[in-house]
Amino acid sequence: MRWFLAACLLALSLAPSAAIVEAKRWVSVKALDSSGREVTRDIMVTMFYEGSVDGPRPVVIINHGRASKAQERKALGRASYIEVSKWFVQRGYFVVVPTRIGYGMTGGPDIEDSGACSKKNYPPGYAASAAQTLVVLGYLRGWKEAALDRVVVVGQSYGGTTAITIAAMNVPGVKAGINFAGGGGGRPETNPGDPCSPQEMKRLFAEYGKTARIPTLWFYSGNDEYFGPKLPREWFNAYRDTGGTGQFVLLPSLAGGGHGSFTKQPANWQPKVEAFLERVSGARVNPRALQD
């Protein structure tokens, strides 16, 4: 028996790595802007998955953040989070990264604009981001590789808040949300750690907490240059105090500002995400050796 097990382990170690497939598709979506006008546009969606696996696998959908300047939103190009996406694929996930309306190669009007700094109206913008996410999930029904009854919504910054927006909607098949540095109104260049209308963001998270029933995981850095060290904890507490379920994780401070910890210090959050995914899925996450 021992020699048989040893032979199996040797065969596995010598087996060639499976390939990661990167697919790009245009998907037609609809969303409302802050005035209630419907906007229809084809958005670029990038997908990563292991090509050698038959049948469906759980889905991770990752939403990108929002730059305050129009030229920076245009410069996004195509959102992919390629290294983080591959990390999820290695753990058995089908990864989807939309480039939303108003950004990069998708282009179009800025439907996520929330108005003047002193009187931000946050809900419509996040509703628009969530609406596009749900259309993309619907599009995946045509992909045999995607298991839409096992979806985790992930997001960075504006996308992090979108993950909590979707958690509050209790979408069938969405099992968990992961929020990296979620919030809005940040102005790191002029008022670091002091975003616009933070009380409105707190109110928004409190509203989400009233209806959210899936587990969530919140990551913020100790020196987030957009939101500072205090506000994220207040927002999380507002969410939890109204009924939301979640865990708050404070990541180490990062040189130059910790808002981008999602891509800049993955080693600090990856073990916690692995443990979280195992807990919400009931299955152990086993990384696989994959190649591009």
pLDDT band at 9 (very low <50, low <70, confident <90, very high): very low
How does the average pLDDT of the chain come out, rounded?
92
pLDDT value for 283: 61
Residue 275 has pLDDT above 90, yes or no: yes
Measured between its terminal Cα atoms, the distance across the chain in Å is: 35
Residue 3 has pLDDT above 60, yes or no: no
Residue 254 has pLDDT above 60, yes or no: yes
SS3 call for 134:
helix
For the residues 176-199, what does the mean pLDDT come to?
97
User: To the nearest whole percent, how much of the chain has pLDDT over 90?
Assistant: 87
pLDDT tens-digit series, residues 148-179: 999 999 999 999 999 999 999 999 999 999 99
pLDDT value for 289: 65
pLDDT value for 284: 63
For the residues 104-114, what does the mean pLDDT come to?
97
pLDDT band at 11 (very low <50, low <70, confident <90, very high): very low
* Strands ordered across the beta sheet of 216-221: 246-251, 216-221, 174-180, 146-156, 57-63, 94-99, 38-50, 18-32, 290-291
Distances (CA, A) of 244 to 74, 130, 266: 34, 18, 26
d(CA 88, CA 10): 26
Q: What is the pTM of this model?
A: 0.92
pLDDT tens-digit series, residues 65-87: 999 899 999 999 999 999 999 99
- Sequence-separated (6 or more) residues with CB below 8 Å from residue 273: 178, 217
Residue 17 has pLDDT above 80, yes or no: no
Helix (H) or strand (E) holding 249: strand 246-251
pLDDT band at 117 (very low <50, low <70, confident <90, very high): very high
For the residues 4-23, what does the mean pLDDT come to?
54
pLDDT band at 280 (very low <50, low <70, confident <90, very high): confident
- Where are the domains positioned within the chain? 23-282
pLDDT value for 143: 96
CATH architecture, range 23-282: 3-Layer(aba) Sandwich (3.40)
pLDDT value for 14: 35
pLDDT tens-digit series, residues 30-42: 999 999 999 999 9
d(CA 195, CA 110): 19
Task: Report residue 115 as tokens.
Answer: 């108005």
Residue 260 has pLDDT above 50, yes or no: yes
